[in-house]
Structure 1
Amino acid sequence: MSETPVPPPTLPPRLQRIPPGAWTAFAWCLSLLSPVLGDADRPSHRATDDPGHAPAAHQDWVTAGFTTPVALLAAALLRRRPRTAVALLLAATVVQTEAWRWELQLPPTALLAVVTALCLVTAAEPRRTSRAALAMVLGALTLHLLLAPALGGGLLLTGTRIGANDAGVLIAVIAWLIGRSVHQSRAHAEALSARAAEQAVTAERLRIAREMHDTVAHSIGIVALQAGAARRVLDTRPDRAREALGAIETAGRETLAGLRRMLGALRQADDADGSATPAHLLPGLAGLDRLAAATTAAGVRVDLRWQGERHPLPPEIDLAAFRIVQESLANVVRHAGVPSCRVTVDHRRPAELGLDISDRGRGRGTSPAGYGLVGLRERVALLHGDFTAAPRPDGGFRVTARLPLTGSAR
């Protein structure tokens, strides 16, 4: 017996396949190039007699040879040790920027790797970790803001030195907020997906329960009645006993066939169009004559009436209509205590199928603990139809259903 092949997993979009460490390493490389690109727009020398300005930024590639391995190590540790990774990136950024001597502060371009890592950590890690990373970045920027003027021989709030770290703080906060937004969006999407999966499991469980009930209940009721009849006439009417045993055999075989079809459908993976069971294997209104004959053989004559011109029905409507009639007849056999009932199938309206099953019995319709009518209501509700089941005013019980033929499946 060959096993059903498992479909390959769906790959995420290409950008999502890139690990966070790769984005961080790429941002670090861009930050290394920023002073080189910035020199093109700067004069080669500044006025040396102006104490408020530092020399133009020039990349220190010797220092970059030491700080780049540290930054790449931080990128590799970003998933496993996010706070350690952010701390290493901050240290590498500060050392590299001090080597540039670019206005003695941390320009926003030098913080590309840090804010990238901060955003990715916030998007992927718990809130406690993201807050610790943000505090680490803001603390480092504030400390550098206080120390940079002193290291350069100037005063805190002198000239144009104040401003670069302020921009870095703003960019860090924006990166953290973006990461939080992504984190919350992911959490919301996962919650919706889990809820949808739970609802799908519940719907499938109810569908299986309805199919099991509808497949077995009617036949078992007929088997019980025929077995009782055979036992009563076994000695006096052996011919009637043989007929009852034949009906039991037929009902048993039909029940086993229905169970095999249902279990086979449950074992099969859904087809490309989402249909697990071929339509021609599902029962439908074409089997009503045989169902009426089996019910008549069980002792309840079925008056089957067709109104309007019979025409093909959608598979879900055809199956639901058959199950409604089947369960209603099973309830008549088990609970009504009458010799006959009437089934009317109405095809006169082009956009609607009507069903009417009535009897003049005791009027209960089902046992108090039964699930048959509950399952029928669920079936009809899923098809956007109307269902009623109640005692008749003049005695007996009546089941009616109206099933729309367009836009039926939810």
Structure 2
Amino acid sequence: MGDKHTRTLVIVTVALCVLVFVATGRTIGLDRALHLVSGRGVGETWFENPLYLIVEPAAVLVLVFTHAWRSRVLLAIPSIAMLVAVVEHAAFYRPHTMFSRADAVQLMLILCAVMAVGGLLLRMRERSRVALAAAAEERARRDERLDMARELHDVVAHHVTGMLVQAQAALVVAAQDKDKACAMLPGIVDGGTEALGAMSAMVRTLRDNGTATATTDLTADLHQLAEKSGLPVLANIELAEVRPELGRSVLRIVQEALTNVRKHAFDATRVEVDVRSTSEVLLLSVVDNGRTRPAHSGGFGLVGMRERVSELGGRFFAGATGDGWLVTAELPLEVRA
């Protein structure tokens, strides 16, 4: 609670405690109230009005509940104790027509305990809600960071790997044929230009509150990706219209799979890309016949692909086939609850 609300609550609590004690004193005699001596009252007063006798304990119970719910612990404990003390004092020493003295004391004690427990439960519920909200916010931030990391890896690795392969090839042939090596330079420049363009597009996406633009023609983009990969790709694409976020993820998975072929399967002579959709799922596979593949590449490509598929509610597999390497995914066409 804020300082202003805390001060107000303290003032109301003190004022009510004084009022209850004064009402008790006016009812049984102030000297008897101070010395806790029972005896006959001093005559009927407005404090014995039935309406007041209902409002007074109700106000006490509301304050007990409020302190248990909202006040700081160091304030709530003495405040509740003070309220319970004055209301129990009143229940014990004031005359009652409907209850005995013992019944009145027990009833108020039970009601105060119920209100305190209710306020405490509500406090715990609110704290749990705040903790859950904080955890959800942290998960959202983590997911956003992971998505950014995957995008950065997919975009940069794809283009930079192509540049690296061409540069390595140029170094190999430079000693024997400088003209052929020089002919490879424009491809490296084009790869760098495409990398910068992709990075700029990703930065614009992040500036637009993370709303990534998905592919509008997935079939055409997949064919273009296969043509620009520099690999002997045989593409078989049979797709119906898919939702934008699914199309974007499919494009990234295929892109990363082809990047891994270029990086790790140097002797691959055939790469087959198969993407087709059924009535319920989209099936994707990228398989190569390369055998030159280290057991542990140390990269995040497979992790990123697996995370993308998992977020879409699909299934993913990547591993050796005996004749090469296979990446396959099954993705639902519709969002699964």
Say if 1:343 and 1:355, in contact at 8 Å, map to a contact too.
no
Q: Per residue, is there more helix in 1 or in 2? A: 2
Residues of 2 paired with 1:279 and 1:265: CA distance?
11
Residues of 1 paired with 2:273 and 2:195: CA distance?
25
1:111 is the counterpart of 2:38: no
1:311 is the counterpart of 2:245: no
| SS of equivalent to 1:95 | helix
Partner of 1:290: 224
Residues of 1 paired with 2:256 and 2:175: CA distance?
33
Aligned to 1:278, which of 213, 225, 241? Answer: 213
Say if 2:91 and 2:108, in contact at 8 Å, map to a contact too.
no
Residues of 2 paired with 1:95 and 1:77: CA distance?
27
Residues of 2 paired with 1:264 and 1:217: CA distance?
19
Q: Which runs of 5+ in 1 are unaligned?
A: 1-18, 21-75, 150-156, 271-275
Residues of 1 paired with 2:258 and 2:56: CA distance?
80
| SS of equivalent to 1:347 | strand
Q: Taking structure 2 as the reference length, what is the TM-score of the superposition?
A: 0.81
Within 5 A, what are the aligned runs for 1:255-270? 255-269=195-209
* Closer/same/farther in 2, CA of residues 159 and 359 from structure 1, 3 Å limit: closer
Partner of 2:18: 91
Q: How far off its partner does 1:239 sit?
A: 4.7
Partner of 1:120: 66
* Closer/same/farther in 2, CA of residues 268 and 366 from structure 1, 3 Å limit: farther
Q: How far off its partner does 1:232 sit?
A: 3.4
Partner of 1:337: 266
1:356 is the counterpart of 2:285: yes
Q: Taking structure 1 as the reference length, what is the TM-score of the superposition?
A: 0.68
Residues of 1 paired with 2:175 and 2:234: CA distance?
32
Residues of 2 paired with 1:179 and 1:264: CA distance?
49
Q: How far off its partner does 1:124 sit?
A: 1.1
Partner of 1:79: 6
Residues of 2 paired with 1:87 and 1:348: CA distance?
72
Within 5 A, what are the aligned runs for 1:184-195? 184-195=124-135
Residues of 2 paired with 1:231 and 1:78: CA distance?
75
Within 5 A, what are the aligned runs for 1:198-213? 198-213=138-153
User: Identity of paired residues, percent?
Assistant: 28
Residues of 1 paired with 2:217 and 2:256: CA distance?
13
Q: How far off its partner does 1:84 sit?
A: 5.6
Give the letter aligned to residue 279 of structure 2.
P
* Closer/same/farther in 2, CA of residues 77 and 321 from structure 1, 3 Å limit: closer
Give the letter aligned to residue 108 of structure 1.
I
Partner of 2:329: 401
Say if 2:267 and 2:292, in contact at 8 Å, map to a contact too.
no
| SS of equivalent to 2:184 | helix
Aligned to 1:174, which of 79, 95, 114? Answer: 114
Aligned to 1:390, which of 304, 319, 322? Answer: 319
Residues of 2 paired with 1:77 and 1:216: CA distance?
54
Residues of 1 paired with 2:99 and 2:303: CA distance?
77
Say if 1:303 and 1:340, in contact at 8 Å, map to a contact too.
no
* Closer/same/farther in 2, CA of residues 112 and 159 from structure 1, 3 Å limit: closer
Q: Which runs of 5+ in 2 are unaligned?
A: 27-44
Residues of 2 paired with 1:365 and 1:82: CA distance?
70
Partner of 2:256: 327
Number of positions where the alignment pairs a residue of Structure 1 with one of Structure 2: 317
Q: How far off its partner does 1:126 sit?
A: 3.7
Say if 1:386 and 1:401, in contact at 8 Å, map to a contact too.
yes
Q: How far off its partner does 1:355 sit?
A: 1.7
Q: How far off its partner does 1:164 sit?
A: 5.5
1:210-235 residue CA offsets vs partner (Å, 9 max, x unmatched): 11111111111111111122233346
